[in-house]
A and B are shown apart, each in its own frame.
Chain A
């Protein structure tokens, strides 16, 4: 009984805190593996079986969705993991007819990928990815100064088109008024009042998506060309979707 109460307490803590969620998932990794193994009828191989990743995110989803009225957490998580694994298998079955690039061509011949002309410059890609990693790390550090993490930003990101459009309007307004970005960096506070007044977006909307707005505005500051290039559609003022 005590264990059950403690487990529920941990689940509710993990709902609120990304670090606690990480710790909880780590602690229950054997359970997640066991559920995956039960589904695959063999032990999953870490770094090779996508099913394990699916089971982990399903476990995380169970943490987020769980409430006491749903009964025992582990049973609920087990059901959710199984459902997500079934969904994943169905999704993958659609690609069953596709040829694998790793597939050898006739007996012991070279792999299919080796026979295709490589249109990508691997060196360039690695360079690009490394630069992107540096940008992302810098962005993460900067976001942490505002008391948030990228995980929080993802949770705080608007999902409705109307809200996304409102946030985009505020972003455009900030681009046109660089003093707002300066104020953000200097004071480590989002200039909500000015943004709302200049963009015409309701202050409440901006407040509700504060962490997301901070991330977007930080991306607008110097040093994040790759990330800005990725979301250029939004920055151009086009449709968010």
Chain B
């Protein structure tokens, strides 16, 4: 390709090629009217199309970032498990809850628990709804009968959530079962259970033994401080300590002894969430029982 030198300026020359295009090129001592070959052409600045493509790319990258942040926020709020509730009747079920208190996953942690969850999906439902439906299924399948016990062990990093879930579960489940069946509802703080340290985040101990209904009226008085107790042998999963330990919190109380507000019979519940951030569990009781064990 030959170029005709059309103009010389301070920093460059204007050339006309045989195709009719004008170019700016380095002025390598050219003369106007001279025909040259192989000039050093000025490299054009990015033109509109490229700039548009760059802008579109930047916009796409920004959109992708926003989508990523939104997706992460959605995952964090709705999909990621934040709290756990271990439901023990005898079937033991682990409920994974998101920050909104919606069930994201249900796991049967023993054989009965798996049987209870067979054909049931609680994903996306409210905690209380799932608890009510699981208790209904447990009654239908014969796992829970009159005088039985339902234990909820709540594992959440947020104390306020623990209070909220505890209050809600106790009142709603009581209301749900009112007039149908009398069971004992127990709410405990998973973290304050004696074996929580070793089994935190893991499923409660599995057991396939049939449920042992406990009637509040039939519950014996708590043993004296120096007396032995074998309430803990009931094998109630997360709420229940490993075999051999005395976990009195799992046992219904009557009369004096431990606070007993966690073992209210249905229909006559006078539970009120203790003020000042008190939890529903009975870590103190457990300590007492440990002391009992020591005495034993």
Contact: A57 with B40, CB < 8 Å? yes
Contact: B9 with A57, CB < 8 Å? no
Report the stretch among B11-19, B52-60, B130-138 that lies at the interface: B11-19
User: Nearest Cβ distance between residue A135 and chain B, in whole angstroms?
Assistant: 8
Q: Which of B14, B27, B33 contacts A129 (CB 8 A)?
A: B33
Contact: B20 with A150, CB < 8 Å? no
Q: Which of B19, B22, B31, B34 contacts A154 (CB 8 A)?
A: B22
Report the stretch among A36-44, A99-107, A175-183, A230-238 that lies at the interface: A230-238
Contact digits for A223-241, partner B, Cβ 8 Å, 1 yes 0 no: 0000100111111000111
Q: Which of B18, B22, B33, B45 contacts A130 (CB 8 A)?
A: B33
A194 at the interface (CB under 8 A from B): no
| Contact size range, B | 35 or more
Contact: B27 with A56, CB < 8 Å? yes
Contact: A57 with B42, CB < 8 Å? yes
Contact: A240 with B33, CB < 8 Å? no
Q: Which residues in B have their C-beta under 8 angstroms from that of A137? A: 32
Majority SS at the chain B contact face: loop
Nearest CB to that of B1 among chain A residues? A241
B270 at the interface (CB under 8 A from A): no
Contact: B33 with A54, CB < 8 Å? no
Q: Which residues in A have their C-beta under 8 angstroms from that of B32? A: 132-133, 136-137
Contact: B42 with A60, CB < 8 Å? yes
Q: Which residues in A have their C-beta under 8 angstroms from that of B27? A: 53, 56-57
User: Nearest Cβ distance between residue A170 and chain B, in whole angstroms?
Assistant: 12
Q: Which residues in A have their C-beta under 8 angstroms from that of B14? A: 150-151, 153-154
Max chain B C-beta neighbours (<10 A), residue from A131, A132, A137, A164:
A132
Contact digits for B36-52, partner A, Cβ 8 Å, 1 yes 0 no: 00001011111100000
Contact: A164 with B9, CB < 8 Å? no
Contact: B20 with A22, CB < 8 Å? no
Q: Which of A22, A91, A231, A235 contacts B16 (CB 8 A)?
A: A231
- Total A-B pairs, Cβ < 8 A: 125
In the complex, A91→B38 CA distance in Å?
Answer: 11
Max chain A C-beta neighbours (<10 A), residue from B21, B25, B31, B43:
B21
Contact: B45 with A157, CB < 8 Å? no
Q: Which of B12, B18, B28, B46 contacts A50 (CB 8 A)?
A: B28
Contact: A151 with B21, CB < 8 Å? no
Q: Which residues in B have their C-beta under 8 angstroms from that of A197? A: none
In the complex, A135→B5 CA distance in Å?
Answer: 12
Q: Which residues in A have their C-beta under 8 angstroms from that of B43? A: 61
B23 at the interface (CB under 8 A from A): yes
B2 at the interface (CB under 8 A from A): yes
B26 at the interface (CB under 8 A from A): yes
Q: Which residues in A have their C-beta under 8 angstroms from that of B288? A: none
Q: Which of A60, A64, A241 contacts B19 (CB 8 A)?
A: A241
Nearest CB to that of B43 among chain A residues? A61
Contact: B7 with A136, CB < 8 Å? yes
In the complex, A157→B24 CA distance in Å?
Answer: 11
Known contacts A56-B11, A61-B43, A151-B9: does B18 contact A231 (CB below 8 Å)?
Answer: yes
B283 at the interface (CB under 8 A from A): no
In the A-B complex, the 5 residue pairs with the closest CB atoms = A132-B33, A234-B20, A154-B22, A133-B33, A60-B11
| Beyond A60-B11, A65-B46, A233-B18, 17 additional pairs, beta carbon < 8 A | A50-B26, A54-B40, A56-B12, A57-B27, A57-B42, A60-B42, A65-B45, A133-B31, A133-B33, A150-B7, A157-B21, A157-B22, A159-B44, A164-B20, A168-B20, A235-B20, A240-B21
